[in-house]
């Protein structure tokens, strides 16, 4: 794989670079977060390219327009237009929006005749059916707009769409600065993590995390499994409770995962909450004794991974467990990786300050879980096999 950072001394004056990012954020995300992590994290690569005199064409998808029936709603809700203002403000430079009303030839000309250092933002790629289908013709059309392709959309690397795996077949391709950072940090957990390694898993579905659990519990080359313990909360813990036939009332869990959960419970490394915060017939958070126990374990860890809230964080009353976990990680000296949309929404601002590379907040959720499950991510593979 080629890294963009290796072009540090290269002049890219007037070269057109297609930059795939993941701006898959809702209007609500944009309202709630001052500068969303995904936008902030895309800036270094954009600035790097501009600094070399390149023209940057930013590509992203947003939401799932196909699943909305009202066509007028689709363009309004899923357009990338709001990002023009946000990006221009952050980059202190105007950003040109390109909608898909124009044909590709016209778009190509507009980009070609623009001055060096121009930034374009192309409309939501999912307005084209070819994106999700990884249509080769669509990929070729996109590729025809530029000279280089840069993937900085780690959070979307598990999806084999035209802009992720199609374009690299036609253009010299590079991993952007964010993708490089994500891979370097996550690979620290995969390769010889300092032990004790503690993985904390919560959130809605155990099925999303099963790959990570299995990958870290398995014995590697005759050595004991890499993880020391897996602390559970949220729907993940509830499913383990159900597998133990404990009463969970109307709590969130996954029935079809019970047989798998039963098998996993044979491992002593899976730690379940010892008390819970309950409302009505629902378990909505880990309880105070569990918090204490988990915090003690986190204190001793030298590597930590966290994905998935410990409870129903949308209600402050049930965000206590997750808040306590975030504080404990912040205080710890362990190398820590935290990911997942909802999980990072609960983090205190201090977690986003550079902590001498000790704490890494990933822009990814699903892609991070697949990476940690040891799966090959199509977006990364496409860079490995590219020109």
Residues 254-293 that bind ligand ADP (CB under 6 A): 283-284
187 alpha-carbon distance from chain centroid: 15
Residues 6+ apart with CB under 8 A from 35: 86, 90
| Closer residue to ligand ADP in complex, CB, 44/211 | 211
Compute the Cα dihedral for 25, 28, 30, 34 and give only its sign. negative
> 38 an active-site residue?
yes
**Do residues 301 and 332 lie in contact, with contact meaning Cβ atoms separated by under 8 Å?**
yes
Using CB under 6 A, pick the residue from 65, 130, 193, 234 that binds ligand ADP.
234
- Residue 193 partner contact from ligand ADP, Mg ion, none using kind-dependent CB cut-offs of 5 to 8 Å: none
Task: In angstroms, give the least distance from the CB of 307 to ligand ADP.
Answer: 6
Residue 296 binds ligand ADP, judged by CB under 6 A: no
> 166 an active-site residue?
no
Query: 83 φ, ψ to 5°?
Result: -75, -15
Residue 314 binds ligand ADP, judged by CB under 6 A: yes
- Residue 168 partner contact from ligand ADP, Mg ion, none using kind-dependent CB cut-offs of 5 to 8 Å: none
Separation CA 309–CA 57 (nearest Å): 35
Task: In angstroms, give the least distance from the CB of 34 to Mg ion.
Answer: 20
Per-residue interface string for the shown chain with Mg ion, residues 323-352, x marking contact by CB under 5 A: ------------------xx----------
> 55 an active-site residue?
no
Residue 166 binds ligand ADP, judged by CB under 6 A: no
Which H or E run includes 44? Answer: helix 43-51
Residue 381 binds Mg ion, judged by CB under 5 A: no
Distance (Å) of CA 114 to CA 36, 90, 108, 145, 260 = 29, 21, 10, 13, 56
DSSP string, 176-215: -HHHHHHHHHHHHHHSSPPSSEEEEE-SS-STTTHHHHHH
Interface with Mg ion (CB under 5 A): 341-342
**Residues of the binding site:** 22-24, 38, 61-64, 126, 159, 209, 314, 340-343
**Which residues belong to the active site?**
38, 205, 341, 366
């Amino acid at each position: 794989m080629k890294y963009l950072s290796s072009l540090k001394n290269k002049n890219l004056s007037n070269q057109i670079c297609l930059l795939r990012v993941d701006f898959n954020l809702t209007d609500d995300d944009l309202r709630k977060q001052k500068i969303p992590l995904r936008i902030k994290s895309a800036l270094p690569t954009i600035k790097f390219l501009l600094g070399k005199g390149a023209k940057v064409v930013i590509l992203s998808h947003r939401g799932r327009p196909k699943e909305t029936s009202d066509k007028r709603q689709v363009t309004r809700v899923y357009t990338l237009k709001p990002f023009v203002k946000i990006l221009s403000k952050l980059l202190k430079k105007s950003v040109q929006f390109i909608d898909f009303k124009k044909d590709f030839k016209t778009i190509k000309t507009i980009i070609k005749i623009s001055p060096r250092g121009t930034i374009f933002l192309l409309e939501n790629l999912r307005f084209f059916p070819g994106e999700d289908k990884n249509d080769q013709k669509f990929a070729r059309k996109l590729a025809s707009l530029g000279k280089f392709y840069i993937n900085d959309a780690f959070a979307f690397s598990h999806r084999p769409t035209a802009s992720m795996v199609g374009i690299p077949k036609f253009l010299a391709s590079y991993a952007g600065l964010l993708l490089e950072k994500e891979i370097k940090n996550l690979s620290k957990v995969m390769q010889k993590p300092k032990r004790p390694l503690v993985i904390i898993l919560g959130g809605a579905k155990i099925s999303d995390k099963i790959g990570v659990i299995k990958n870290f519990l398995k014995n590697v080359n005759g050595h004991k499994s890499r993880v020391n313990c897996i602390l559970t909360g949220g729907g993940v813990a509830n499913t383990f409770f159900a597998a133990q036939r404990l009463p969970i009332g109307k709590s969130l869990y996954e029935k079809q995962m019970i047989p798998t959960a039963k098998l996993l419970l044979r491992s002593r490394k899976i730690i379940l909450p010892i008390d819970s915060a309950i409302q009505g017939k629902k378990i909505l958070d880990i309880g105070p004794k569990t918090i204490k126990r988990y915090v003690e374990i986190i204190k001793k860890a030298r590597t930590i991974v966290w994905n998935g809230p410990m409870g129903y964080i949308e209600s402050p009353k049930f965000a206590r467990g997750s808040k306590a976990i975030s504080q404990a990680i912040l205080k710890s000296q362990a190398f820590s990786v935290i990911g997942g949309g909802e999980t990072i929404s609960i983090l205190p601002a201090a977690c986003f300050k550079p902590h001498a590379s000790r704490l890494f907040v990933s822009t990814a959720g699903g892609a991070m879980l697949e990476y940690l499950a040891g799966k090959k991510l199509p977006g990364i593979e496409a860079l490995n096999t590219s020109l």
